[in-house]
Amino acid sequence: MSLTTAHSVVAPTALSRRIAATIVIVYALISILPLLWIFATSLKTPPDSIAYPPKLLFQPSIEGYCNLFTTRTRQTPEYITSLGPATSFCDQVTRTRNMVIAGPSNFVPRFVNSLIIAFGSTFCAVFLGTLAAYGFSRFKVPLADDLLFFILSTRMMPPIAVAIPIYLMYRELGLSDSALGMILLYTAVNVSLAVWLLKGFIDEIPREYEEAAMIDGYSRMQAFWRVVLPQATTGIAATSIFCLIFAWNEYAFAALLTSGTAQTAPPFIPTIIGEGGQDWPAVAAGTTIFLIPILVFTVLLRKQLLRGITFGAVRK
């Protein structure tokens, strides 16, 4: 049995491959359907979105996006005709529903909050995580295994259980509903993932590189900065994306600890309502915009995904 024939004996037959492909593709199509439906709903008008039977073919409209970005008030037809010509497409669509645009909605500020908090906490978590991972990887730390378990266990805690004392603590410190408070909290949650993942990546960089550099006169810090960090770029990038996704998606803390100025998009999107209940095209539009960055990141990350979800234990 030479290496060249390694697959000949156990290779699946053509028929079994075809059956496997059919089942997997059917599953993939079904599982992606809700997401396609979100996208389709975002392009429907409110009446189309709740038509029976659900409409597969429809006249696309950006009304959902208009409603997402604006707040509107109902007006009499006389008032509307007394206004000048519509200044934008959204203006025009709103007027056909006997409403006028009253101002921008909270979506953009909430989305910006999400960006600030996600990027701020990711930067802090990866910065701290890289240092700690290097420490655990290269030095003999007393009780290293226990400390690493402690670090990981903080991530496993039920968020609501953590939120009770955090809520009280933030109230005392004046951090309630502040971006700084959320950044600190998400940093603490993400740093555990960052340490575990980055330790795996740094463990893979041969120690000989730094030792050689230190013989050449680099200090430990210089070796870390100029030798280890450049080698760990892929790992740092992958870790950053995982931290970003967590902070971007997080809901429990955001819903309990923010309500106004620092509220992020996940607790905001479900509160988008129109007249007579939830404005589903607007919710779908917000959801679509919210999900697109994640889809891009998932494609970028697909080779590192397994590592990320197992805290660096499974490397493929």
Q: Compute the residue count for the chain.
A: 316
Do 247 and 262 form a contact (C-beta atoms < 8 A)? no
Could you say which residues in the range 150-189 bind other proteins, by CB under 8 A? 150-154, 156-169, 171, 184-185, 187-188
Beta bridge partners of 100: 73
Which residue's CB is nearer to other proteins, number 69 or number 253? 253
Q: Which of 204, 270, 273, 275 binds other proteins (CB under 8 A)?
A: 270
Residue of 80, 86, 115, 141 interacting with other proteins (CB under 8 A): 141
Q: Which is nearer to other proteins, 101 or 113 (CB)?
A: 113
Q: Is 109 exposed, middle or buried (0-12, 13-18, 19+ CB in 10 A)?
A: middle
- Whether 229 and 223 have beta carbons less than 8 Å apart is answered as no
140 binds other proteins (CB under 8 A): yes
In this structure, which amino acid lies at residue 74? R
Residue corresponding to tokens 């959204």 = 90
The smaller minimum CB distance to other proteins, of residues 101 and 304, is found at 304
Q: Which two tokens stand for residue 206?
A: 């041969």
Cis bond leading into 293, ω under 30°? Answer: no
Termini Cα distance of the chain: 25
**6 is a contact residue toward other proteins (CB under 8 A):** yes
Site for other proteins in 16-55 (CB under 8 A): 16-18, 20-21, 23-25, 27-28, 31-35, 37-38, 41, 49-54
For residues 101 and 284, which CB has a smaller minimum distance to other proteins in the complex?
284
- Member of 147, 178, 209, 229 binding other proteins (CB under 8 A): 147
Closest distance of CB 207 from other proteins, Å = 10
Q: Which is nearer to other proteins, 100 or 119 (CB)?
A: 119
Q: How far is the CB of 187 from other proteins (least distance, A)?
A: 7
C-beta neighbour count of 85 within 10 angstroms:
6
Tokens of 257: 């600890």
Backbone angles phi, psi at 101, to 5 degrees: -70, 125
Query: Binding of other proteins at residue 201 (CB under 8 A)?
Result: no
Among candidates 48, 37, 45, 64, which has minimal Cα distance to 272? Answer: 64
CB of 161 to other proteins, least distance (A): 4
CA distance 294 to 73: 34
- Binders in 217-236 for other proteins, by CB under 8 A: 217-221
- Hey, which residues between 295 and 314 contact other proteins (CB under 8 A)? 295, 297-299, 302, 305-306, 309-311, 313-314
Total of residues contacting other proteins (CB under 8 A): 111
- Interacting residues with other proteins between 236 and 265 (CB under 8 A): 245, 248-252, 255-256, 265
Nearer to other proteins, 90 or 195 (CB): 195
Site track 49-88 with other proteins (rule: CB under 8 A), x = hit: xxxxxx----------------------------------
DSSP 128-150: HHHHHHHHHHHS--TTHHHHHHH
Among 46, 283, 285, 304, binds other proteins (CB under 8 A): 283
Cα 101 from chain centroid (whole Å): 31
Cβ proximity to other proteins, 62 vs 305, nearer residue: 305
Q: Rg for the chain (alpha carbons), in Å? A: 26
Residues 6+ apart with CB under 8 A from 130: 194, 198, 229, 232, 236
